Amino acid sequence: MAEQSKGTALVTGAGRGIGRGIALELARRGFDVVVNDIVDNPEDRSTGACEVLERIQEIGRTGLFIHGDISDTDDRRRILDETLNTFERIDILVNNAGIPCPRRLDILESTEQSYDLVMNVNLRGPFFLTQLVAKQMVKQVKESTPFPPIIVFITSISAYVSSPSRPEYCISKAGLSMVSRLFAHRLAEEGITVYEIRPGIIRTDMTAVVKERYDKLIEEGILLQRRWGQPEDVAKVVGAIVNGDLAYSTGEVIEVSGGFQIPRL
């Protein structure tokens, strides 16, 4: 018989990459997990959200897949409603879903269409999803929920590193960093802790298109720890947060980048 669930976690963009790693880590930590993504293929259960659900079940926890686009107002509401209909509560929100720029273009050539697309998914969507979920969490706290709610934002070192060939992405992550700070400020009085995790060069489908470039940079020493980061490196930080190891550190920014953040001469 499986142990009683510690609570319910919602992870956006959980069908692959960092989101997948986080979803599985939370399941191993004893949480039921809502896997949100916009891509799934029921005919191929070896990849995507279906594969993540099967892995969650193998771990012994309950998983729920909710197809939904966080940039869409109705989808955000439905994601929360379906989560509550199944689990009656939401204890952890991990804002992980994000997209790269459709094309890498010089900032002098950036288009409004690309800008709006990236901002809607990477910034507007997480902001208003968090607003919805936070209201539910406040309600749970007032009802003496057994697990103190936690919100995590997955941003990027691009929140502070300039890349003029993908300005939309950098601006969206810088904005999301402030969103994390704002919610940490507002929700502290409600007993809800908020964290920002900044991944560096992580081996995912998103970075596969620039693998050779990053291989060379890592070999040349751009990172103190000369290796690619893995989704599990980010997931382990989320695991420490939900374990309560950073309970007195709301608003903290945790970088997972192999020492990239240290200026060197």
Active-site residue numbers? Answer: 169
SS3 state at 199: strand
Name 264's Cβ contacts closer than 8 Å, sequence gap at least 6.
none
Residues linked to residue 9 through DSSP beta bridges, in sequence order: 33, 92
Is residue 34 classed as helix, strand or coil in its secondary structure?
Answer: strand
For residue 91, what are the CA distances in angstroms to 6, 67, 135? Answer: 9, 20, 12
- Residue pair 223/260 in contact (Cβ under 8 Å)? The answer is yes
Structure tokens at 52: 């993540």
Q: At what angle do helices 167-187 and 112-119 cross, to 10 degrees?
A: 30
Q: Which residues neighbour 146 within 8 Å (Cβ) at sequence distance 6 or greater?
A: 7
Distance CA(68)–CA(83), nearest Å, equals 12
Burial 151-162 (b: 16+ CB within 10 A, else e): bbbbbbbbbeee
